[in-house]
Homo-oligomer: A and B are copies of this chain.
Amino acid sequence: MNEITVLPPNVSKAEFARAIAEYRKILGNHNVIVDMERLAPYKKIMVPNPEQQHAPAGALIAESVEQVQAVLAVCSKYRIPVWPISTGKNFGYGTAAPAVPGQMVLDLKRMNKILEFDPVLGTVLLEPGVTYQQLQTYIDERNLPFWIAGPGAGSLVGPVGQSLERGIGYTPYGDHFAHSCGMEVVLASGEVLRTGSGGITNTKAWQSHKYGYGPVLDGLFSQSNFGIVTKLGLWLMPAPATYKPFLVAFANHEDIGKAVEITQQLRLKGVIQNTAVIGHALYALAWFARRADIYTEPGSVTDEWLTNFLKPKRLPVWGVNAALYGSEERVAADWKTVIEAFKDSGGMLLTQEQLGGDPAWEHGKGLMAGRLDMVEYGLYNWRGGGGSAWFAPVMQARGFEALKTMRLGKSILAEYGFDFMGGYMVNPRDMTLVIDLLFDRSNPAELQKAHECFGRLIREFGAQGYGVYRTNIAFMEQVADIYGPVKKIVNQRIKRALDPKGIIAPGKSGIRI
């Protein structure tokens, strides 16, 4: 116990020791982690803040709902906060570490059962520790005619955390939160809430009907700290008879406006049904290249350099990644609409025939079919040094918004010498610009610069009316502020109503009691 780096706030060492003894009785000695060495993976972060600002007091590994309930009773008794994680691989958003220090990480990775699968309705019921890879294997082994909808770097992470954090996937089921159905939530009181139809004795509709009766509570447990989700229903996409991914290549930086306008209309009309990603060249480059090997100038990669680098390789600055799904004849019909839509755009429409074998294309093609790979982890070699923070502002899916945010993002990043690498995730009406702020965490000056840069991005985008849809543990309070005082007050009132002692994840999304 004398190795503890940080105690929970207002908890004495003696009280903490008593609590640890109680946790051990519930979970077994091995599942209560307070020694430095075993705690290390829970402390390691990639985001631009010093580790000690997110240092956990310890970690608890729970294997059942009953254990989660019992842990919460001890937390309540000693007022020790817990920070629940599912797989804890949420790298550029905070890995496993808490938003504010001194919490016990509540690790649910061993609650990893696929509890139910319905082959007619395409629904599953999952525990938080289930990974996308595990679900994919489950489907493959049984040869089930369903697709998952993994995120960009999906092998290690899981659908429960991803859906609760409202992460983005690239099939027509890419809005992961919207394709979840039915939660089981352990409240701070230990009570178990089932949302939607879940509270009905003998219901069979928990995973098929979302809303239930009266207020819909599911949204409350997304990106929040109002309860601990221990089961989540998920909808799977039926495998289409035909899948036709394509890329529309645009040669100029400013083409993003046109690319968004056309893509948005195809999304709105339902021709493109998946989350279309208009990816920037540098983002795709960084999956495979190290910065130092190709760029030796000082400061950020400039537009001009990038253009000159890409041109001889006949690579585009922007590529619209999208796909068609359905019967062969439907896909053929929709393909004609796509050709027509991009015909005078200056973009070049490319398919498997032209692109097959290109590694970036193969990754994108897999993503839009929900397949998993580790390609995007290559990003972390671009600069090296283990720093990553996703900046993800949301806006109308309009060309002028793309141009404005691209310019704003580039100019802020350039001030700090960081690169603009990311893409626009285009929905029918909104889109998210996702930028990975990559930096060398092992360099204290660069860590500090990254922290300042990220804060500037939030602030300056916020001043222009752009909120971000999700953020890392170092900036939760700042992002919550952008959404105005009433939202914060309401969040706080609900927090006090459901968790009056504030034992679940204080600081998550800027919410405390």
User: A213 to chain B: which residues have CB within 8 Å?
Assistant: 223, 467-471, 479-480, 482-483, 509
User: A468 to chain B: which residues have CB within 8 Å?
Assistant: 213
A423 to chain B, nearest CB (A): 17
Question: Does A494 lie within 8 Å of B491, measured CB to CB?
Answer: no
Question: Does B483 lie within 8 Å of A493, measured CB to CB?
Answer: no
Is A222 positioned at the interface, with any CB of B under 8 Å from its CB? yes
Question: Does A216 lie within 8 Å of B220, measured CB to CB?
Answer: yes
Interface string of A195-213 (1 = CB under 8 A from B): 1010111111101111111
User: A465 to chain B: which residues have CB within 8 Å?
Assistant: 200-205
Copy number in the complex reads: 2
Is A336 positioned at the interface, with any CB of B under 8 Å from its CB? yes
Is A272 positioned at the interface, with any CB of B under 8 Å from its CB? no
Question: Does B200 lie within 8 Å of A462, measured CB to CB?
Answer: yes
Residue of B nearest to A492 (CB): B497
How many A residues, CB 8 Å from partner?
A: 99
Is A133 positioned at the interface, with any CB of B under 8 Å from its CB? no
Question: Does A208 lie within 8 Å of B264, measured CB to CB?
Answer: no
Question: Does B120 lie within 8 Å of A197, measured CB to CB?
Answer: no
Is A327 positioned at the interface, with any CB of B under 8 Å from its CB? yes
Is A255 positioned at the interface, with any CB of B under 8 Å from its CB? no
Is A7 positioned at the interface, with any CB of B under 8 Å from its CB? no
User: A123 to chain B: which residues have CB within 8 Å?
Assistant: 429
Q: Tell me which of A18-26, A90-98, A352-360, A395-403 binds B.
A: A395-403
Question: Does A204 lie within 8 Å of B121, measured CB to CB?
Answer: no
Is A214 positioned at the interface, with any CB of B under 8 Å from its CB? yes
Interface of chain A residues 454 through 484 with chain B (CB within 8 A)? 462-471, 479-480, 482-484
Question: Does A220 lie within 8 Å of B223, measured CB to CB?
Answer: no
Is A273 positioned at the interface, with any CB of B under 8 Å from its CB? yes
Residue of B nearest to A212 (CB): B483
Is A215 positioned at the interface, with any CB of B under 8 Å from its CB? yes
Question: Roughly how many angstroms separate A483 CA and B192 CA in the complex, as a whole number?
Answer: 13
18 more CB-based (< 8 A) A-B contacts, given A122-B268, A218-B219: A120-B265, A121-B396, A121-B429, A122-B429, A187-B486, A193-B486, A194-B487, A199-B487, A200-B483, A204-B401, A208-B429, A212-B469, A215-B226, A217-B487, A235-B428, A238-B268, A269-B326, A327-B336
**Chain A residues in contact with chain B, CB under 8 A?**
120-123, 166, 172, 177-178, 181, 187, 191-195, 197, 199-205, 207-224, 226, 235, 238, 240, 264-265, 268-271, 273, 325-327, 329-330, 332-334, 336-337, 394-398, 401, 428-430, 462-471, 479-480, 482-484, 486-487, 489-491, 493-494, 496-498, 509-511
